Chains A and B, each alone.
Chain A
Amino acid sequence: MPKRDVSAIFNRRAALMSFVGAGVMGAILVRMGQLQATNLFSREYSAAADDNRFDTRIIAPPRGIIYDRFGTVLAQTSRDYQVAVVQQDVEDLEEVVGRVGQILGLSAEWARRAVIRVRGGSRYEPQPLQEGLTWDEFNRINVRLPELTGIVAHAADVRAYPYRTVYAHPIGYVQKPTQRDVERALEDPAQGESRAMYLRNPMVRVGKAGLEAGLEQTLHGEAGWRKVVVNARGVEQGEDENERRPPVRGSGVVLTIDHELQRVAMENFGADQSGAAVVMDIYTGDLLVMASAPGFDPNLFVNGIAREPFRVLNEDEKKPLFNKGVTGVYAPGSTFKMIVGIAAKQAGVEDTWAVSCSGGYFFGGRTFHCWRAGGHGRMNLHDAIKHSCDVYFYQAALRAGPERIAAVARQFGLGEHFDLGVPNVRDGLIPDPTWWRENRNEGWTGGLTLNYGIGQGAMGVTPLQLAVMSARLGNNGHAVAPRLVREAPGVTDPPQPVHMSGIASEHLARVRDGMFGVCNEPGGTGMRAGNLELVRHPETGVAVPLTPENRAWAPVQIAGKTGTAQVRALGANRGRHFSTIEWRFRDNALFCCFGPWHEPRYACAVVVEHGGAGSAVAGPIARAIMRETLLRDPARRAPARLASLESTTRSRA
């Protein structure tokens, strides 16, 4: 075997390997050049790099302001001091939240819940821990911030309801969007990802009740955005100020409500009373009062209400979370008698037609009682309304017939749907024989007609509908419709109400006379409500309180009707003392009226749930509200204009 020259082989192969190595290094360079050349044309890597580092952050828009008809701010955005945590920057969330809790004097339970809530949210954006801090608490946190890594203290615009319980129902409240809201937005092609992104922002609130919910689109405004530079963990590193788009405040809304009257209405419900009051302009339909008692503080909901307070509200038998003005459905009781009266007139019942009330009416093998056991004696329409005589209306109902009564009731707004822009408006029910056959699978009987005559049985109306009925009685049979929003984008002034066909002024006049009697004639069931102690100036006609000096001036009067409606089988409470009856079985007290008598302008309806007699309970509340309404006479004052309100808001901002 020849001696191999190892050195020569080595040198050859080393040279070969060097070439290979150089080629490999070249390949690396070529590959890098290729990546860059690709990018030169497609920009795909540049775009990906930008996509990585730039992120769009939503700026929640300030919500539109809600004003009363004269410009009083009922719902606004105000500075709220908050402490929040950025999870990404925190090592031990429990520990740091616990320390924040100690600084603010909050319980360990608070910290436990806050940690659970925060864990469910974004890791990179601040998650609020506690909102609504006082200036002092805010400062205490600020001083300690250097040692609280990951904690931020900042001020944010948050919805505030300065009058708290007063507008809990008509205006409602906003809340943080729920997961369901986000999902719904994603499913809705009209909303989609951008709306979902907006909803996920922890600063964003959406309307959940009342007008806040109904006018969400108008109020929420337009989100702004910031183009921020983020690192791989999504932590903001800087902002491209040129790309910033400021948010646009939501449009303001002017309501028909008169704040002074709304406040008086809420104050006149007793602390343990449950009910609703509605005041309406009988020509424009403007709702001056939309009150429901008991109220609650809508501010509790803005930053998330705790479980226990919510449970208390939700399970309260007086149902504070319900807007009883539009969702409470009650048997109208005797307030229905005007409808029966008109129907009877239409059926040809003469003014001279009278019945004799001996305390009961025997029909179909049983006795139908009058509320007054001793009876009323001879009653014509006027007196029957004034005394609320049941026996008269049993017979009037028989003469008018249920179909006619139902038709008149519907003309006067009972059972009619009114769109006020708030959710959950209920329509009530005016049953007639057709409805009865279809829904109860049994024929209409005469007994039902008798019950119909006194507003009992299956029928149900809302306080709003009672107010509409009173308004249409007061305005001589014009189909005025209620409204809650005076001015907002897309809201137009309502047309002049038209006269309702088939409603004869002469019939209306008889019924209205009866209502006048209720409030102003001896023996009228509504005398307590009727005595307003107001007189009007002989020249200007302006209502002023009665004083010894102005006794000679003409009184300001109202016409109305009381109602006491059973909530359980007729007669079940008979003979029992009011105080021995369980609250939820007590009669509902109702009162509806319009005024002033000499020149009607306002209608009012009051319902007090399980309050007992309408004359004693609902009447005085209605009196107080009506008295204030006639004194203020809001229809005569110039309402605020949204444009000028918004311009002052802007200049303040």
Chain B
Amino acid sequence: MTLAAGSNPNTLAERVSRLNWGIITVMVALALIGVLMHFSVSSGAWTDMPLTHGIRFAVVMMMVLIAATILDPRFWLAIAYPLYAGALLLLILVEVAGETRMGATRWLALGPVSLQPSEFMKIGIVLALARYYHQLDPRRTGALLSILPPFLMIIAPVALIMHQPDLGTALLIVFAGIAVMFLAGLSWWIVGGGVVLGAAGAFFAYNYVLHGYQRDRVNVFLGLADDPLGAGYHVLQSKIAIGSAGLFGRGYLQGTQSQLDFLPEKHTDFIFTMIVEEFGLLGGALVLGLFTALMALAVQVALRARSLFGKLAAAGVAATLACYVFINTAMVIGLVPVVGIPLPMISFGGTAMLTIMVGFAIVLSIDLHRDQHGTRGILW
């Protein structure tokens, strides 16, 4: 099945004017909050950090707008499998010749640039699954045999990523992949079976797959171990910051836990804590609200899109974003173990921002071409 053009905008000006400016506005708002927080992380100085964050966002946003305007969903459908295959190949390369930093082999050095192939996979899995179900005969969606390919598509990269080890990214890919499968119409029987299998898998993973430090974090989280200076320290300090912040927070640049460095990783994984400490519960709610709005807008795009590929890809991106936000915020308040997932658009560091923004470039493009619908045939 390929995509046929519906009543889609043809001129460039028309396309720009019909871009989903709501999505763009929310993304800009989130990135600006990021700049604001990195200014605070730098103790109120225009250091490299807030500037880099802002410039990085501006550059990527430009590319996103250009990509969303000139590339239509057919392009993304076309590269879904090659992208997935390439990302998988790179993951294998990491396994063979990866760069090890801080005990984890996640990076590939390509000349001066080092990249994390696991990030490509976050988009790759969504697109590949969307394409798979887009091209699958709807009558076979529920069949057991047709579940095998997407299952393998998820398992292969997840196994490689777990081995790096990068529990957070692996979880994220699993969740996003299952979300796409579920939305595509996976039978409830299989969903139920999957939950049972998942529980068994978690038990198996805890005992045989997780690394020592990961197991420590899970233990501390489950209350099986008490280690306020080790794995539990991050969460303890984070809870202190959030618990003592109050409704309105301690004030911008005034967070004692953050400004005095008691809160570790405040510029990356624990930036949400810093937001709450300085702007209070209300500040945290605002940020969560912005993310929820962004997801809702993506879901709206998915609901409006006529093609299944468009629906699944947009929803997959929304699910990926939801996983990011949920895992990160739940982690900093001690609801889930610390797995090292940043808060997209706000945490310092380009990869999470890039992944989510590439995802939204696809969402914007799907929205622009929402009237394209699926027709039978071999590509276009």
User: How far apart are A232's CB and chain B's nearest CB, in angstroms?
Assistant: 4
User: How far apart are A26's CB and chain B's nearest CB, in angstroms?
Assistant: 9
Contact A25 B292 (CB under 8 A): yes
10 A-B pairs whose Cβ atoms sit less than 8 Å apart in the complex: A4-B141, A10-B302, A21-B295, A35-B243, A35-B333, A36-B245, A45-B243, A46-B244, A48-B244, A49-B257
Task: Write the B120-160 contact mask toward A (1 if CB under 8 angstroms, else 0).
Answer: 00000000000001000011011000000000000000000
Task: Write the A213-241 contact mask toward B (1 if CB under 8 angstroms, else 0).
Answer: 00000000000000001111100010000
- Further 11 A-B residue pairs, CB within 8 A, beyond A10-B315, A17-B315, A18-B296: A9-B185, A14-B299, A17-B179, A17-B182, A32-B276, A33-B281, A35-B243, A36-B242, A36-B246, A52-B257, A230-B260
A417 within 8 A of B: no
Task: Write the A1-18 contact mask toward B (1 if CB under 8 angstroms, else 0).
Answer: 101111101110110011
User: How far apart are A238's CB and chain B's nearest CB, in angstroms?
Assistant: 10
A244 within 8 A of B: no
Q: In chain B between 225 and 266, which residues have their CB closer than 8 angstroms to a CB of chain A?
A: 237, 239-247, 256-257, 260-262
| Cβ–Cβ < 8 Å partners of B182 in chain A | 13, 17
Contact A10 B308 (CB under 8 A): yes
B335 within 8 A of A: yes
| Cβ–Cβ < 8 Å partners of B246 in chain A | 36
A445 within 8 A of B: no
Question: How far apart are the CA atoms of A18 and B256 in the complex, in Å?
Answer: 36
User: How far apart are A336's CB and chain B's nearest CB, in angstroms?
Assistant: 69
Task: Write the B257-301 contact mask toward A (1 if CB under 8 angstroms, else 0).
Answer: 100111000000000000010000100110010011001100100
Contact A32 B284 (CB under 8 A): yes
Contact B185 A10 (CB under 8 A): yes
A496 within 8 A of B: no
Beyond A28-B333, A48-B240, A52-B240, whether A6 also contacts B303 by CB under 8 A is: no
**Which chain B residue lies CB-closest to A51?**
B240
Question: How far apart are the CA atoms of A5 and B141 in the complex, in Å?
Answer: 11
**Which chain A residue lies CB-closest to B306?**
A7
| Cβ–Cβ < 8 Å partners of B247 in chain A | 36
Question: How far apart are the CA atoms of A33 and B244 in the complex, in Å?
Answer: 11
Q: In chain A between 16 and 73, which residues have their CB closer than 8 angstroms to a CB of chain B?
A: 17-18, 21-22, 24-25, 27-29, 31-33, 35-36, 38-39, 44-46, 48-49, 52-53
Question: How far apart are the CA atoms of A44 and B241 in the complex, in Å?
Answer: 11
**Which chain A residue lies CB-closest to B328?**
A28
Among A3, A5, A29, A45, the residue within 8 A (CB) of B284 is A29
Task: Name, among A14, A39, A44, the residue most crowded by chain B CB atoms within 10 Å (CB to CB).
Answer: A14
Contact B256 A49 (CB under 8 A): yes
Among A4, A11, A21, A229, the residue within 8 A (CB) of B303 is A11
The DSSP consensus for interface residues of chain A is helix
| Cβ–Cβ < 8 Å partners of A35 in chain B | 239, 242-243, 333
User: How far apart are A28's CB and chain B's nearest CB, in angstroms?
Assistant: 5
**Which chain B residue lies CB-closest to A47?**
B244
User: How far apart are B293's CB and chain A's nearest CB, in angstroms?
Assistant: 11
User: How far apart are A33's CB and chain B's nearest CB, in angstroms?
Assistant: 6
Question: How far apart are the CA atoms of A17 and B318 in the complex, in Å?
Answer: 10
Contact A6 B141 (CB under 8 A): yes
User: How far apart are A39's CB and chain B's nearest CB, in angstroms?
Assistant: 4
Question: How far apart are the CA atoms of A38 and B243 in the complex, in Å?
Answer: 8
Contact B260 A39 (CB under 8 A): no
| Cβ–Cβ < 8 Å partners of A21 in chain B | 292, 295, 322, 326
B184 within 8 A of A: yes
**Which chain A residue lies CB-closest to B326?**
A24
| Cβ–Cβ < 8 Å partners of B179 in chain A | 17
Size bin of chain B's contact surface = 35 or more
Residues of chain A touching chain B, judged by Cβ–Cβ distance below 8 Å, are 1, 3-7, 9-11, 13-14, 17-18, 21-22, 24-25, 27-29, 31-33, 35-36, 38-39, 44-46, 48-49, 52-53, 229-233, 237
| Cβ–Cβ < 8 Å partners of B256 in chain A | 49, 52-53
Question: How far apart are the CA atoms of A233 and B139 in the complex, in Å?
Answer: 63
Contact A28 B243 (CB under 8 A): no
| Cβ–Cβ < 8 Å partners of A53 in chain B | 256-257, 260, 262
Contact A7 B311 (CB under 8 A): yes
B27 within 8 A of A: no
Contact B333 A32 (CB under 8 A): yes
**Which chain B residue lies CB-closest to A49?**
B244
How many A-B residue pairs lie within 8 Å, measured between CB atoms? 127
Question: How far apart are the CA atoms of A224 and B258 in the complex, in Å?
Answer: 30
B312 within 8 A of A: yes
Contact B185 A22 (CB under 8 A): no
Residues of chain B touching chain A, judged by Cβ–Cβ distance below 8 Å, are 133, 138-139, 141-142, 179, 182-185, 237, 239-247, 256-257, 260-262, 276, 281, 284-285, 288, 291-292, 295-296, 299, 302-303, 308, 311-312, 315, 319, 322, 325-326, 329-330, 333, 335
Question: How far apart are the CA atoms of A18 and B179 in the complex, in Å?
Answer: 11
Among B260, B285, B296, the residue within 8 A (CB) of A229 is B260
Among A6, A31, A232, the residue within 8 A (CB) of B308 is A6
**Which chain A residue lies CB-closest to B315?**
A14
User: How far apart are A30's CB and chain B's nearest CB, in angstroms?
Assistant: 10
Among B257, B299, B312, B330, the residue within 8 A (CB) of A28 is B330
User: How far apart are B144's CB and chain A's nearest CB, in angstroms?
Assistant: 14
Question: How far apart are the CA atoms of A24 and B336 in the complex, in Å?
Answer: 12
Beyond A32-B281, A45-B240, whether A14 also contacts B302 by CB under 8 A is: yes
User: How far apart are A40's CB and chain B's nearest CB, in angstroms?
Assistant: 9
| Cβ–Cβ < 8 Å partners of B292 in chain A | 21-22, 25
Beyond A36-B245, A229-B260, whether A13 also contacts B240 by CB under 8 A is: no
User: How far apart are A4's CB and chain B's nearest CB, in angstroms?
Assistant: 5
**Which chain A residue lies CB-closest to B245?**
A36
| Cβ–Cβ < 8 Å partners of B141 in chain A | 4, 6
For the complex of A and B, 7 pairs with smallest distance between CB atoms: A45-B243, A232-B261, A231-B260, A45-B244, A35-B243, A39-B243, A46-B244
Contact A10 B184 (CB under 8 A): yes
Contact B138 A45 (CB under 8 A): no
Among A7, A14, A31, A230, the residue within 8 A (CB) of B333 is A31
Question: How far apart are the CA atoms of A32 and B284 in the complex, in Å?
Answer: 9
| Cβ–Cβ < 8 Å partners of A39 in chain B | 243-244
Question: How far apart are the CA atoms of A24 and B292 in the complex, in Å?
Answer: 10
| Cβ–Cβ < 8 Å partners of B244 in chain A | 39, 45-46, 48-49
| Cβ–Cβ < 8 Å partners of A45 in chain B | 239-244
Contact B276 A7 (CB under 8 A): no
Question: How far apart are the CA atoms of A593 and B343 in the complex, in Å?
Answer: 91
Question: How far apart are the CA atoms of A237 and B295 in the complex, in Å?
Answer: 42
**Which chain A residue lies CB-closest to B139?**
A1
Contact A233 B261 (CB under 8 A): yes
Question: How far apart are the CA atoms of A18 and B185 in the complex, in Å?
Answer: 16
| Cβ–Cβ < 8 Å partners of B303 in chain A | 11, 14
| Cβ–Cβ < 8 Å partners of B326 in chain A | 21, 24-25, 28
Contact A10 B288 (CB under 8 A): no
**Which chain B residue lies CB-closest to A53?**
B256
User: How far apart are A37's CB and chain B's nearest CB, in angstroms?
Assistant: 9
**Which chain A residue lies CB-closest to B277?**
A49
Contact B335 A28 (CB under 8 A): yes
Contact A237 B260 (CB under 8 A): yes
Contact B242 A32 (CB under 8 A): yes
**Which chain B residue lies CB-closest to A230?**
B260
Contact A4 B322 (CB under 8 A): no
Question: How far apart are the CA atoms of A18 and B142 in the complex, in Å?
Answer: 22
Question: How far apart are the CA atoms of A600 and B256 in the complex, in Å?
Answer: 75
Task: Name, among B138, B237, B240, B285, the residue most crowded by chain A CB atoms within 10 Å (CB to CB).
Answer: B240
Contact B281 A36 (CB under 8 A): yes
Question: How far apart are the CA atoms of A53 and B277 in the complex, in Å?
Answer: 14
Beyond A3-B139, A28-B326, A52-B260, whether A17 also contacts B319 by CB under 8 A is: yes
User: How far apart are A613's CB and chain B's nearest CB, in angstroms?
Assistant: 72
Question: How far apart are the CA atoms of A232 and B241 in the complex, in Å?
Answer: 13
Beyond A3-B139, A17-B179, A25-B292, whether A44 also contacts B243 by CB under 8 A is: yes
Contact A28 B185 (CB under 8 A): no
Question: How far apart are the CA atoms of A17 and B185 in the complex, in Å?
Answer: 13
Contact B335 A31 (CB under 8 A): yes
Among B139, B312, B329, the residue within 8 A (CB) of A4 is B139
